[in-house]
């Protein structure tokens, strides 16, 4: 292993936008959509 490959294998976490931000937002938006659809179905009397 050369010095160049040893330094490129180690990556430092910087806390940027890749840190669970989009995953949490997708979950929240998904559950919001589920609740809105359930309310719509209930209001229209389809259930």
pTM over 0.75: no
Report the SS3 class of residue 40. Answer: helix
Tell me the per-residue pLDDT of 3-46, one tens digit each, with 9 for 90 and over.
655 555 577 767 665 556 678 889 999 999 999 999 999 999 98
Going from N- to C-terminal start, the domains of the chain cover 23-47
User: CA separation (Å) from 45 to 13, 28, 38, 40?
Assistant: 50, 26, 11, 9
């Amino acid at each position: 292993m050369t010095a160049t490959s040893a330094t490129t294998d180690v990556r430092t976490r910087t806390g940027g936008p890749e840190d669970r931000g989009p995953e949490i937002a997708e979950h929240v938006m998904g559950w919001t959509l589920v609740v809105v659809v359930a309310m719509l179905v209930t209001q229209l009397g389809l259930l």
